[in-house]
Amino acid sequence: MAKRQDTKKFFENLSGAGKSIGVLTSGGDAQGMNAAVRAVVRMGIYVGAKVYFVHEGGTVIGSARCKEFRSHEGRLKAAHHLVQRDITNLCVIGGDGSLTGANLFREEWSGLLEELVQQGLIDEEAAQNNSELHIVGMVGSIDNDFCGTDMTIGTDSALHRIIEVVDAIMTTAQSHQRTFVLEVMGRHCGYLALVSALACGADWVLIPEMPPEDGWEEQMCQKLSESRSRGSRLNIIIVAEGAIDRQGKAITVNNVKDLVVSCLGFDTRVTILGHVQRGGTPSAFDRILASRMGVEAVLALLEASASTPACVVSLCGNQAVRLPLMECVQMTQDVQKAMDEKNFEEAVRLRGRSFENNLNTYKLLSYRKADSELPNSSFNVAVLNVGAPAAGMNAAVRSAVRVGITEGHKMFAVNDGFEGFYKGQIKEIKWGDVGGWTGQGGSILGTKRTLPAKHLDKIAEQIRIHNINALLVIGGFEAFLGVMELSAAREKYNEFCVPMVMVPATVSNNIPGSDLSIGADTALNAITDTCDRIKQSASGTKRRVFIIETMGGYCGYLASVGGLAAGADAVYIYEEPFDIRDLQSNVEHLTEKMKTGIQRGLVLRNENSNENFTTDFIYQLYSEEGKGVFDCRKNVLGHMQQGGAPSPFDRNFGTKIAAKAIQWISRKLKDSYKEGRVFANTEDTACLLGMRRRAMVFQPVVQLKDQTDFIHRIPKEQWWLKLRPLMKILAKYKTSYDVSDSGQLEHVTRVRPKKVD
């Protein structure tokens, strides 16, 4: 262990002693800003720095758009305030306007100091001691309109608000056979409109970056009419507030409503979501993003030198990155310029690969081509769910079916996993059969944990009967094992010599080869919401500690990341062994905190973290040791973590990953079709599609064997373990934090990243 630590870079070497950090939130408020402020403050204190709030700068410390700061006199006054407190490190949480202003402030800094000296407001020594101003930005904006980052703080929470409303509207629209036209925020950016349309399966979406082609009115009405004739009882149209046509003329929700009424005579209503999108509690994703970025911002400030440009910390895929602030601002402005010049393809490209992927996937799924326009592949592709249900599975199946049909395949649905497969529960599934599936929880196809190994003869027979040429398996650890068993049986059965791909879907997030699984985000939100409520239940009572048990089998992902999102004091998991001394020190730590005026404590325990230190044991230990200081309550969250409607992230992730899987199947079918039949028996034709850091990667299941602990059903290496010290720091523990994986300064890339196959 000591050897390994030598090669790592620990931030004990990065001291904040003698440094002062100012943190401010500026511009429009966004959910998650408070979590970002909390992380900056606690991390700053942890490294020994002094941390200051800049008030009004809904967040806890107030968020404001300041006109005075736009003037030179305003910035001179601001510089004076900072020098008086020796603050030379600023962490700015806001949108592109706030960050551009902060960068201008930095560029003017030495000139402002000179002016202050000339005016006699500060002396030469103060100017010398504060000669360098370092700025790190975090993007807090619900619009996700800042280039260079996949997700800005607040975007995911805004999507939660939108989807909650859309789900509620869908039930009333269905009852009355209505069309609803919804306006969502996004004056210059269509991200919220586009992703919510993708997440709810909207019939039509209008965004500023990609105005509809001329004649769109007729096309839209035709599409709505077709959807009704196929039996749909409702239509949803989503309009970004900045939507325009090809001539740059605004398209409003009322324009769209009038069009639908005059053209089709449908009962049509308008809903404008407005500031609801900015409010409410932050989602689990936003809390984790803000916490990770807050810590990253402090590290970036500690490492900054005179030559380091002002940077923004952001997320690319699942990887923290640092990007020069002005490069991002320039690219964001270039998007607007491209839109003004009506160069819409360029505007979409500049928005980044995440936006482009969303748009392409929406186009693929929303408009059914006429049969005469479809390529005739004459291939049959089967889709099945395996393992326990996970929210987002249905969105993945819908996406797979529709993309498969668009690619010219005949799609088959297998009910009840491998059990249904060997029993012959297989039928063709059409475009309209999966309408409205995106927002449904659980598994509509039905899913079982049965493995195929004992039923290979019967499964091979069903593949023959239905002439199945490829398999898409969506599920958890059993799905992974199932695909391994089928690929291993290829030597004996020619029927299994077909392309097969597995897409991970499990709340436990325990699949090797993927950082994330469909369903895990929904489960995290269930845990976070419940922890919030549980903590609230104790408001007004004396000091109380809650012991909460989460699911996950032997995988501590839900407990650890849920703990980070909910602000837990301790989290017990299997991957990080603990003994009675650790439990004792945690109790003592919590007791000390409770004596300082903190009223509530939160302790999470993964269900299989230790066979002897059970949830009951930990509850009794804390109850006994906390006598006189706090009392205890325990709660086992159970299957509520598997239920509920999928979160926007899971709907979206399921939709995009399944579309990618089907496109891979199409390529493999083409490659392996020889002499009138499909024959695929190489390693790279039985794959798992997973998210690895920044890319979606297809990995042969055989190659993932060595990365798997089969006894405990977890990957041998898990990326999220690096987040655990972060949780401990935010809970005020002394710990070692490995910064070798922190973001390095990169440049904004304008060339397309190569596709990883």
Catalytic residues: 143
Please report, in range form, the residues annotated as the binding site for substrate: 141-143, 178, 185-187, 241, 269, 275-278
- Pairing type for strands 500-504 and 426-428 reads unpaired
3-state SS assignment for residue 134: strand
Q: Which of 54, 159, 146 is nearest to 649 (CA)?
A: 159
Residue 546 near residue 533 (C-beta atoms within 8 A): no
CA distances to 386, 539, 597 from 628, in Å: 50, 18, 14
Q: Which of 513, 491, 493, 495 is nearest to 504 (CA)?
A: 513
Contacts of 547 (CB under 8 A, 6+ apart): 603, 605, 615, 618, 619, 622, 632, 633, 634, 635
3-state SS assignment for residue 223: helix
Q: Which of 641, 616, 634, 608 is nearest to 528 (CA)?
A: 641
CA distances to 10, 318, 322, 397 from 740, in Å: 7, 15, 14, 38
Residue 480 near residue 699 (C-beta atoms within 8 A): no
Q: Which of 458, 397, 456 is nearest to 425 (CA)?
A: 458
Contacts of 581 (CB under 8 A, 6+ apart): none
- Rounded to 5°, angle at Cα 288 from 286 and 291: 105
Q: Which of 747, 734, 693 is nearest to 11 (CA)?
A: 734
Residue 75 near residue 298 (C-beta atoms within 8 A): no
CA distances to 123, 350, 588, 734 from 603, in Å: 51, 44, 13, 17
Beta-ladder partners of 321? 314
Residue 260 near residue 269 (C-beta atoms within 8 A): no
